[in-house]
């Protein structure tokens, strides 16, 4: 019984939150990695692109809600996703044509592109904060819980409850579907293969007749879809706050590099690596040990590696360790 209780405890406080958080990071990280792989720069505007996408989704959700349309138990925001995706694709392509294209054609140094992406970041950030304001926005509707802690306790007769929020399940399922489709596209279809070829070796891809304009357009479309889904899922799970997306960009970068920059599958795993370490190291295991250990060995302290204040710092520390020992990431990334 104690063993079961302890397992449920860990599932409730580590596994479920980490899977949710990891899915959000993974989606974001795949977007960053695609930009890096094809367009060859680290896009600092990505966090604010996610915020922009989520903002459009929220605005449209509000509109739908005012019309009285809803999905029942599911959040209304899911209907608004396509609109968000279209708007994000449009703004991405606009910024690509207006800003990034010039530097790409000039073959500027990647550092210049980073600096330029800062400019885009400032603009997107301002647009989002001007339109929707800097405060917290909650746009989650539908049912909040799939499984409540008390129900679970009554159902199983255990001491520990297991709570699963509907957003957590939605996040996980959406991530799995999106990533499966994406990997199918990249690995099995002709266009996906040409995209990987272009990412791998630009000159060779050009020689074999791959149209770079098409590949770049496609990349922005994929990236916008990912950004919208990732941003909306994050907003549904926590709440929408423009600056939170910027703060989330840093763990996303960490996940990208840990998984090997330019490698989508690596980014997917990287997200989960970061999420599990962050949550695993900041969780206080006291109760867990109380269940497992005999009474005389029970710990007095919290048995927590580091306090939750340092949650973000952990992902940064992982990143720095990876950069020093395996600069190409745990899964081999692009070497430029």
Partner 1 sequence: MKNNLDIKIAFIIMGLLIVLVGFFQSWGVALSILNLCLISSVMSMGVNMQWGYSGLINFGVMGFLAIGGLAVIVISVPPVYAAWDAGGTGIIMSGLLLAALVYAVFYVHSKVTSKYKNYIIFALVISIVPIMKAVSGPSIHAIESIDAATSGYLGGFNMPIIFSWFVGALLAAFVAFVTGKVCLGLRSDYLAIATLLISGIVITIVKHEEWLTRGVKNVIGLKRPAPYEVDLQNSDWFVGMIESIYSSRLSKITDIDQQIATLKELVISSSGVFVKLCFSLIFAAVLITLLIFSEKALRSPWGRMMRAIRDNEDAAKAMGKNVVKRHLHIFMIGSAIIGFAGAMLVTYDGLFTPASFQPLRYTFLIWVMVLLGGTGNNYGAILGGFVVWFIWIESAPLALFLINTLLGQVDSANEVKKHLIDSIPYFRYLMMGLGLLLVMRYRPKGLLPEKIIRN
Q: What single string gives the DSSP state of each residue in 63-79?
A: HHHHHT--BTTB-THHH
**φ, ψ at 150 (rounded to 5°):** -65, -45
- Nearer to partner 1 (CB atom), residue 104 or residue 193: 104
- Nearer to partner 1 (CB atom), residue 18 or residue 121: 121
- Nearer to partner 1 (CB atom), residue 42 or residue 233: 42
Q: What single string gives the DSSP state of each residue in 234-259?
A: HHHHS-B-HHHHHHHHHHHHHHHHHT
- Nearer to partner 1 (CB atom), residue 229 or residue 314: 314
Distance CA 237, CA 171 (A): 8
Could you tell me which stretch among 51-59, 86-94, 246-254, 266-274 binds partner 1 (CB under 8 A)?
246-254
**φ, ψ at 74 (rounded to 5°):** -85, 150
Q: Which two tokens stand for residue 126?
A: 């301002």
Q: Which two tokens stand for residue 95?
A: 């910024």
| H or E element at residue 82 | helix 77-95
Report yes or no: 331 and 266 within 8 Å, Cβ to Cβ. Answer: yes
- Nearer to partner 1 (CB atom), residue 19 or residue 34: 34
Does 204 help bind partner 1 (rule: CB under 8 A)?
A: no
Does 121 help bind partner 1 (rule: CB under 8 A)?
A: yes
- Nearer to partner 1 (CB atom), residue 82 or residue 119: 119
The minimum distance between CB 310 and partner 1, in angstroms, equals 6
- Nearer to partner 1 (CB atom), residue 144 or residue 332: 332
Does 206 help bind partner 1 (rule: CB under 8 A)?
A: no
- Nearer to partner 1 (CB atom), residue 95 or residue 152: 95
Within 28-47, which residues bind partner 1 (CB under 8 A)? 41-42
Does 253 help bind partner 1 (rule: CB under 8 A)?
A: yes
Report yes or no: 103 and 113 within 8 Å, Cβ to Cβ. Answer: yes
Give the rounded distance of the alpha carbon of 336 from its chain centre: 25
The minimum distance between CB 48 and partner 1, in angstroms, equals 10
62 Ramachandran zone, left/alpha/beta (phi>0; psi -120 to 50): alpha
Does 86 help bind partner 1 (rule: CB under 8 A)?
A: no
Q: What single string gives the DSSP state of each residue in 102-124?
A: HHHHHT--HHHHHHHHHHHHHHH
* Nearest to 156, CA basis, from 279, 8, 327: 8
Does 137 help bind partner 1 (rule: CB under 8 A)?
A: no
- 71 DSSP β-pair partners: 74
Does 135 help bind partner 1 (rule: CB under 8 A)?
A: no
Does 133 help bind partner 1 (rule: CB under 8 A)?
A: yes
Q: Binding residue for partner 1 (CB under 8 A) from 20, 23, 125, 263? A: 125
Residues touching partner 1: how many (CB under 8 A)? Answer: 50
Does 119 help bind partner 1 (rule: CB under 8 A)?
A: yes
Q: Which two tokens stand for residue 293?
A: 């250990």
Q: Which residues of this protein are in contact with partner 1, per CB under 8 A?
A: 41-42, 99, 102, 109-112, 114-116, 118-127, 129-131, 133-134, 243, 246, 250, 253-254, 257, 305-307, 309-310, 312-313, 315-317, 319-321, 323-325, 327, 336
């Amino acid at each position: 019984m104690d063993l079961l209780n302890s397992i449920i405890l860990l599932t409730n406080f580590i596994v479920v939150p980490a899977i949710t958080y990891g899915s959000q990071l993974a989606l974001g990280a795949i977007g960053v990695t695609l930009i890096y792989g094809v367009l060859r720069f680290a896009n600092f505007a990505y966090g604010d692109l996610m915020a922009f996408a989520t903002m459009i989704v929220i605005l449209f959700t509000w509109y739908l809600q005012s019309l009285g349309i809803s999905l029942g138990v599911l959040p209304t925001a899911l209907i608004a996703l396509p609109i968000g995706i279209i708007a994000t694709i449009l703004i991405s392509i606009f910024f690509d044509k207006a800003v990034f294209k010039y530097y790409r054609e000039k073959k500027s140094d990647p550092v210049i592109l980073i600096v330029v992406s800062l400019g885009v970041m400032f603009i997107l950030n301002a647009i989002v904060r001007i339109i929707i304001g800097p405060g917290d926005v909650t746009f989650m509707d539908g049912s909040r819980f799939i499984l409540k802690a008390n129900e679970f306790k009554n159902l199983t007769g255990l001491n520990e409850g297991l709570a699963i929020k509907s957003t957590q399940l939605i996040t996980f399922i959406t991530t799995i579907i999106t990533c499966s489709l994406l990997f199918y596209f990249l690995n099995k279809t002709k266009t996906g293969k040409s995209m990987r070829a272009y990412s791998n070796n630009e000159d060779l891809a050009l020689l074999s007749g791959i149209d770079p304009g098409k590949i770049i357009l496609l990349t922005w479309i994929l990236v916008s879809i990912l950004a919208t889904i990732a941003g909306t899922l994050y907003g549904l799970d926590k709440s929408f706050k423009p600056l939170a997306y910027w703060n989330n960009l840093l763990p996303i970068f960490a996940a990208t590099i840990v998984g090997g920059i330019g490698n989508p599958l690596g980014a997917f795993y990287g997200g989960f690596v970061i999420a599990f370490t962050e949550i695993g190291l900041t969780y206080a295991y006291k109760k867990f040990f109380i269940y497992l250990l005999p009474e005389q060995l029970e710990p007095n302290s919290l048995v927590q590696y580091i306090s939750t204040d340092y949650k973000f710092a952990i992902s940064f520390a992982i990143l720095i360790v990876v950069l020093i020992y395996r600069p190409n990431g745990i899964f081999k990334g692009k070497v430029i």
